[in-house]
Structure 1
Amino acid sequence: MGLRPDSSLQYLLLFPVYLIIWLWSVISFLPWYYITGAGQKRVQSSRIKAKSTTSRAEGPYRSVDHFESLAKEDFPGKDTLDKLFNHAVERFGPSYCLGTRDVLSEENEVQPSGKVFKKLILGDYKWLTYNEVDTVISEFGSGLAALGQKPKSSIAIFCETRAEWMITAQACFRRNFPLVTFYATLGEDAIAFGLNETGVTHLVTSTELLETKLKNVLPHIPKLKHVIYVDKKRMSTEGYPAGLSLHSLQSVRDLGALPENWERPIVKPQPSDLAVVMYTSGSTGRPKGVMIVHSNLIAGMTGQCERIPGLGPNDTYIAYLPLAHVLEMTAEISCVTYGCRIGYSSPQTLSDQSTKIKKGSKGDCSVLRPTLMAAVPEIMDRINKNVMSKVQEMSYLQKTLFTLGYKYKLEQIKRGYDAPLCNILLFRKVKKLLGGQVRMMLSGGAPLSPATQRFMNVCFCCPVGQGYGLTETCGAGTITEVADISTGRVGAPLICCEIRLRDWAEGGHTRDDKPNPRGEVLIGGPNVTQGYFRHENNDDDFFTDENGQRWFCTGDIGEFHSDGCLQIVDRKKDLVKLQAGEYVSLGKVESVLKNCTLIDNICVYANSDQNYIISFVVPNQKKLMALAKQRGITGAFEDICTHPEMEREVLKEITEVAVKIKLQRFEIPVKVHLSPEPWTPETGLVTDAFKLKRKELKNHYLHHIERMYGGK
């Protein structure tokens, strides 16, 4: 944390605090130790979690909790997604299922820069019970069938994360309509490509996306006949292709509720039937549609749920990540299966400080008070920096107390213990930023830095699990156990799959590496999907072994530790060889440098015919402006970012952090370009999971690459 008392006098003033914490620790340790079962948790943390099914160092590695055979389903006989939901309705019928906040008012707020931000005041959550959701699903599915949607014919959804997304998905699962999913932030060309490739005739969307993104491309999608918008607004048909029909979700429900449509027989899916074609946002090239059958999703969710202890009706999950991402979709289907409540949100309304929440009103976390939450590292890094920014604004005494408590609790966590007094006195307010009830967080989509993971552990008083999986494996691969106190690792293989390593000699990673074997991560099991839709290169990424088990080649480089836990150490595409022969892992360098206080986001770039690396940085506006003021530099944020002295200051901090973390000399960026515009999925420079799109970033900053490498 970097804060120290400035003199012996200040230390003496704080001595009573040290003494109180020490006395409390001595008095409370033994009762706390036995009441909370801390000793047993330490044993669980250090136990062997997975082992090789052979004597070979490369594996395959399998969870010791399901070593004899891989698990395929949690509820015997519930082998399709419609059966899972029907089972949940039978068990939890009158309980709350899906919740959405009403927009009470909205207003435009003009910023000093002249930009206009829309601010919202939202009401309480309004809930649909499991029984009510079941009725809506039945009516909507019946209405889609009445509009000509056929079993085993694909239907597309292009929509933001909201209750209607999940209702649409469940209606499709029930009637065996394979669901084609697209990120709401995909560009027009990518959407048109996917809709034409799958040949869908029906599309579910929102009025906003229909007007802003779809309207221009609809004339180029000749097979599309029906568009269903989920909002309650009235839509004008003016400007849309003549052969296209627009319907509201309510009108389709009304159609489905008519006796002649309601009584039509339902063609139910089989486990081997296609459930979803999920188009990845794609960090490179055109998006690819991953074909996922019912049995794949059920196997993946069985593995994921086994790592979330106590999942059930007492849990509330906050849903704000893109539902077109496999992490969010499987998380929500799992929550519904186990009787949890799902409250819908968005990154712009998540907390009281979120960009769309009017100052003084409540964000979604404060109202919903979730117990479970998924996040991508980018979101956690933002939370980390926001909290630490508040700490820096505290008085010296408050800041020192916070730092003292943070360091004390951090040491306790590293030993496998906790610090209840610090939780009550210091971290209660921080915990309330996410509602105060979160009992577990799961991070996925990209590597989470150890520093951010520890920060979330300490300040939000809950375990932070790190997961590893891909769309091609239904998001399932590994998840850290709740009791695991290590950082930087992604846990042991889930009970639904096994993992082995394949030598990658070119990159210097093999089974003979010391102290642990390394290689490309291959995931095998019933959760491995059927390949890419109409793609001729499936054999390069997927294969079936002699036992009939499917495997996916991830392109990630992993290392298995002695307790059977996996650590992702590299990615083939992120590894660049410099002119002198050194390999630089771009992802590793970026993960480390995100700890710089002046940096909100960073992309490291390396040209293989050069002997040094460069970087593009989205600086933290508040920190950079404050630093500029100290240096006597004035102007708008855009002007500050182009000032040579500010580039030097950011590069200086990058170098200091890199040296402290012990990066190699050739891994430290030599030049930097500061970008005043943040990278969001809307800009097309990052995916919906906030992964960098390296090709797009390279093209976007081509002029600056040439400048920093001396070309211009």
Structure 2
Amino acid sequence: TMKLKVLKVSSILLLPVYVLMFVYTILTFIPWYFLTNAKKKKAMAKRIKAKPISEEPGSPYRSVDHFNSLATIGIPGADTLDKLLDQAVVKFGKKDCLGTREFLSEENEVQPNGKVFKKLILGEYKWISYEEVHKQVTHFGSGLAALGQKPKNTIAIFCETRAEWMISAQACFKHNFPVVTLYATLGEQAVAYGLKESQVTHLITSIELLETKLKRVLSNIPNLKHVIYVDKKNFDKSGYPAGIQIHSMASVTELGAKPENLNSPITHPVLSDLAVVMYTSGSTGLPKGVMMVHSNLIAGMAGQCNKIPELGPKDTYIGYLPLAHVLEMTAEISCIAYGCRIGYSSPQTLSDQSTKIKKGSKGDCTVLKPTLMAAVPEIMDRIYKNVMSKVQEMSYVQKTLFKLGYDYKLEQIKRGYDAPLCNLFLFKKVKALLGGNVRMMLSGGAPLSPQTQRFMNICFCCPVGQGYGLTETCGAGTITEATDYSTGRVGAPLICCEIKLRDWPEGGYTTRDKPNPRGEIVIGGPNVSMGYFKSEEKTSEDFIIDRNGQRWFCSGDIGEFHPDGCLQIIDRKKDLVKLQAGEYVSLGKVEAALKNCALIDNICVYANSYQSYVISFVVPNQKKLMALAQHKGIEGSWEELCNNPTMEAEVLKAITDVASSVKLERFEIPVKVRLSPDPWTPETGLVTDAFKLKRKELKNHYLNDIERMYGGK
């Protein structure tokens, strides 16, 4: 009775708020509608964005903005990567280009459980101009040449995302040294494999990676002669193989600045020269190197930049994703080409709440205040869950106000409008988590859930350009338009490529399906890479050359084209498992549906063709699971809770409820679950750098649990 009285009083107190919002909507709608050009934006959102080039089923779709031909270049005269930088220096010479936060000190912080976390105290961003970047690029490239690096011979960059990575890459592009990129989180075996296969003689890295990952494998890389570390400090060089010379980046730059080296002739690249061999971590087996020539990357970036309105010198981009990932690399090269400045960060220092930021001090976003950022869905999901858990801790009135504003703005967005008052008073603090100035976010690497996308739209007050692209297509494929607030779709083909669907009868998808054509996504155009390094067999499996000489990549993803020409990813060929009774289960589809469960942070669904049901491994949400355990009267450490059969049953019940609400088939719903007390990070080797599941590694990791859940010994 008492609770009902409180609710009744709260509802009465909130009545003026409802009236105020109604009056506000009436009074402000007309001026807002005309001042923000809402009519044009709505028309852009509803327009046809791509269409098939013929009426034949399976005909390729092209963007209506470049329908008669595919774009190959974004900036006139810049048809190779070195020319992009040269032109940018002429246009933006004195402007800030690359920024790094000053390191002040480091502290150890002891947690209640006894664990010690290192916390950083950082200062302001220190910037170098376009002219200074160009000077460092020129000198470092000459220094590499003086150390014996030859044009058209591969050189490796195995380094964290930082300004030195980009300066090194630009130096290599200028001197026509094809860059081999490797994720900084790859294991020793995978790194050694990439370095041996690419036969590099020179390697650019950091002291940390040199000491933690490279020291033990360098003797197994026969061709390697020179290692250059990018840090501005000395370290103990003892214990390294005698045949390898170790240099600092500063010393190589000084060597290149000497007149006799600086004035040596440079072999500039041409369109067809190899620019990058990008080793993808891959979800199975050893990494594979994707070969990208200059024209591939130039075309891909032309398509991507076309979807970012008014990209230019007013923009600040925050770089923190792995530069060895095609999304981050092309985003940063594009930013430099268009005069933006790039401030470097890391996932551990991104916001005030990040793991390496000392409590009470500022994260990188707060200091930098970026206008553009890229993010993988895993990071957005994390932000979403953190904010929503804080909302749950609010008082009833605060929570109701938040929900009222959230729902109101959601309805406005669905109509193609906005809610400026809510942005100003309600979402200002949430928006400040990323600095307060983000005008557009780019999402790629994995599907973004509709709930998370809506949350970013509403609370961060910016469009989320969800994209679809692969390393094999230089990251280019599709991107949603800034005016398109629909969810669950990845947008129309970019102006640099065309996309067709091909039948996959085994999965039940055809280009004649109603109401929309469905099938395997095949991408064609100048952005399609040249194939896999030293792997003709794998290249011939996944790449096609048509009679016009155009290259196509067969993605293995299943898509559906909507009437406006936008693509939706609906399935994955390689994730399809046939159960004993003959039913097909798409693991990725089930995982995407079950990630909406509040108790789940991450999930891997597993099925064996010799069995009749599906099982799952789950990384639970610690806060929610511990609250549930307290409610159930179950005590114990985090590890004990994750191994408790009652808690397993509770999570399984929550999974089943979500599965039923999204109408999964009975055979698609996991019957058993294993709770993991440890999160899956790239460092554990269970997910890729883009946080995609590594199914083979996860299977091996949980082999005993699989046997147990399937009734084995």
Q: TM-score, normalised by structure 1?
A: 0.99
1:574 maps to 2:575:
yes
Secondary structure in 1 matching 2:582: coil
Q: Any conservation in 2 of the 1:5–1:11 contact (CA below 8 Å)? A: no
Counterpart residue number, 2:20: 20
- Aligned residue runs from structure 1 range 356-367, under 5 A: 356-367=356-367
Counterpart residue number, 2:705: 704
Instruction: Evaluate the alpha carbon distance shift between residue 5 and residue 72 of structure 1 in structure 2; reply closer, same or farther with a 3 A threshold.
Output: farther
1:540 maps to 2:552:
no
Counterpart residue number, 1:102: 102
Deviation at 1:76, TM superposition (A): 2.0
Residues 25-68 of structure 1 show CA distances to partners (whole Å, capped at 9, x for unaligned) of: 01101111111111211111111000001112322000000001
Residues 663-683 of structure 1 show CA distances to partners (whole Å, capped at 9, x for unaligned) of: 222221111100011100000
- Aligned residue runs from structure 1 range 154-193, under 5 A: 154-193=154-193
Q: d(CA) in 1 for partners of 2:708 and 2:407?
A: 43
Deviation at 1:652, TM superposition (A): 1.4
Q: Any conservation in 1 of the 2:477–2:523 contact (CA below 8 Å)? A: yes
- Aligned residue runs from structure 1 range 367-378, under 5 A: 367-378=367-378
Instruction: Evaluate the alpha carbon distance shift between residue 5 and residue 442 of structure 1 in structure 2; reply closer, same or farther with a 3 A threshold.
Output: farther
Counterpart residue number, 1:282: 282
Residues 633-654 of structure 1 show CA distances to partners (whole Å, capped at 9, x for unaligned) of: 2221111110111111111111
Secondary structure in 2 matching 1:445: coil
Q: Any conservation in 1 of the 2:496–2:526 contact (CA below 8 Å)? A: yes
Q: Provide the aligned C-alpha RMSD in A.
A: 1.1
Q: Any conservation in 1 of the 2:561–2:568 contact (CA below 8 Å)? A: yes
Counterpart residue number, 1:259: 259
1:229 maps to 2:229:
yes
Residues 336-388 of structure 1 show CA distances to partners (whole Å, capped at 9, x for unaligned) of: 00000100000000000000000000000000000001000000000000100
Secondary structure in 2 matching 1:233: coil
Q: Any conservation in 2 of the 1:203–1:228 contact (CA below 8 Å)? A: yes
Identical residues among aligned pairs (%): 75
Secondary structure in 1 matching 2:275: strand
Q: d(CA) in 1 for partners of 2:5 and 2:691?
A: 38
Q: d(CA) in 1 for partners of 2:374 and 2:680?
A: 21
Secondary structure in 2 matching 1:386: helix
Deviation at 1:655, TM superposition (A): 1.4
Counterpart residue number, 1:353: 353
- Aligned residue runs from structure 1 range 131-210, under 5 A: 131-210=131-210
Amino acid across the alignment from 1:621: Q
Amino acid across the alignment from 1:624: L
Deviation at 1:11, TM superposition (A): 2.3
- Aligned residue runs from structure 1 range 59-98, under 5 A: 59-98=59-98
Counterpart residue number, 1:676: 677
Amino acid across the alignment from 1:209: L
Counterpart residue number, 2:474: 474
Counterpart residue number, 1:325: 325
Q: Any conservation in 2 of the 1:74–1:302 contact (CA below 8 Å)? A: yes
Residues 294-331 of structure 1 show CA distances to partners (whole Å, capped at 9, x for unaligned) of: 00000000000000000000000000000000000000
Secondary structure in 2 matching 1:690: coil
Q: d(CA) in 1 for partners of 2:355 and 2:112?
A: 15
Secondary structure in 2 matching 1:97: strand
Q: d(CA) in 1 for partners of 2:428 and 2:669?
A: 38
Counterpart residue number, 2:560: 559
Counterpart residue number, 2:619: 618
Residues 105-129 of structure 1 show CA distances to partners (whole Å, capped at 9, x for unaligned) of: 1111121222211101110000010
Secondary structure in 2 matching 1:118: strand
Q: TM-score, normalised by structure 2?
A: 0.98
Residues 480-509 of structure 1 show CA distances to partners (whole Å, capped at 9, x for unaligned) of: 011112110000000000000110001101
Q: d(CA) in 2 for partners of 1:647 and 1:188?
A: 35
Amino acid across the alignment from 2:161: T
Deviation at 1:414, TM superposition (A): 0.7
Deviation at 1:8, TM superposition (A): 4.1
Deviation at 1:13, TM superposition (A): 2.4
Secondary structure in 2 matching 1:648: helix
Secondary structure in 2 matching 1:627: helix
Counterpart residue number, 1:51: 51
Deviation at 1:232, TM superposition (A): 1.2
Q: d(CA) in 2 for partners of 1:593 and 1:459?
A: 23
Amino acid across the alignment from 1:238: S
Residues 450-489 of structure 1 show CA distances to partners (whole Å, capped at 9, x for unaligned) of: 1111111011000011100000000000000111121100
- Aligned residue runs from structure 1 range 578-617, under 5 A: 578-617=579-618
Unaligned segments of structure 1, at least 5 residues = none
Q: Any conservation in 2 of the 1:5–1:400 contact (CA below 8 Å)? A: no
Amino acid across the alignment from 2:168: T
Q: How many residues align?
A: 709
Secondary structure in 2 matching 1:554: strand
Q: d(CA) in 1 for partners of 2:200 and 2:688?
A: 24
- Aligned residue runs from structure 1 range 23-34, under 5 A: 23-34=23-34
Q: d(CA) in 2 for partners of 1:329 and 1:132?
A: 20
Secondary structure in 2 matching 1:647: helix
Deviation at 1:582, TM superposition (A): 1.8
Counterpart residue number, 1:405: 405
Amino acid across the alignment from 2:469: G
Q: d(CA) in 2 for partners of 1:140 and 1:6?
A: 69
Secondary structure in 1 matching 2:519: strand
Q: d(CA) in 1 for partners of 2:595 and 2:63?
A: 33
Deviation at 1:157, TM superposition (A): 0.5
Q: Any conservation in 2 of the 1:319–1:342 contact (CA below 8 Å)? A: yes
Amino acid across the alignment from 2:290: V
Residues 214-264 of structure 1 show CA distances to partners (whole Å, capped at 9, x for unaligned) of: 000001011100000000121222100011100000000111111111111
Q: d(CA) in 2 for partners of 1:227 and 1:523?
A: 38
Q: Any conservation in 2 of the 1:201–1:224 contact (CA below 8 Å)? A: yes
Q: d(CA) in 2 for partners of 1:221 and 1:112?
A: 44
Q: d(CA) in 2 for partners of 1:455 and 1:529?
A: 35
Amino acid across the alignment from 2:368: L
Deviation at 1:580, TM superposition (A): 2.0
Q: d(CA) in 1 for partners of 2:263 and 2:361?
A: 47
Instruction: Evaluate the alpha carbon distance shift between residue 5 and residue 132 of structure 1 in structure 2; reply closer, same or farther with a 3 A threshold.
Output: farther
Amino acid across the alignment from 2:383: I
Secondary structure in 2 matching 1:569: strand
Secondary structure in 1 matching 2:605: strand
Q: Any conservation in 1 of the 2:10–2:397 contact (CA below 8 Å)? A: no
Q: Any conservation in 1 of the 2:291–2:532 contact (CA below 8 Å)? A: yes
Moved more, 41-50 or 606-615: 606-615
Q: d(CA) in 2 for partners of 1:557 and 1:6?
A: 51
Counterpart residue number, 1:444: 444
Q: d(CA) in 2 for partners of 1:59 and 1:453?
A: 30
Secondary structure in 1 matching 2:531: coil
Residues 587-631 of structure 1 show CA distances to partners (whole Å, capped at 9, x for unaligned) of: 111112112121111111111222221110111112212221222
Q: Any conservation in 2 of the 1:192–1:217 contact (CA below 8 Å)? A: yes
Deviation at 1:272, TM superposition (A): 0.4
Amino acid across the alignment from 2:700: N
Counterpart residue number, 1:639: 640
Instruction: Evaluate the alpha carbon distance shift between residue 6 and residue 217 of structure 1 in structure 2; reply closer, same or farther with a 3 A threshold.
Output: farther
Q: Any conservation in 2 of the 1:160–1:184 contact (CA below 8 Å)? A: yes
Moved more, 322-331 or 419-428: 419-428
Counterpart residue number, 2:128: 128
Q: Any conservation in 2 of the 1:182–1:280 contact (CA below 8 Å)? A: yes
Unaligned segments of structure 2, at least 5 residues = none
Moved more, 583-592 or 261-270: 583-592
Amino acid across the alignment from 1:133: V
Residues 534-560 of structure 1 show CA distances to partners (whole Å, capped at 9, x for unaligned) of: 003211111110111110000000101
Deviation at 1:104, TM superposition (A): 0.8
Q: Any conservation in 1 of the 2:501–2:511 contact (CA below 8 Å)? A: yes
Q: d(CA) in 1 for partners of 2:523 and 2:408?
A: 39
Amino acid across the alignment from 2:650: E
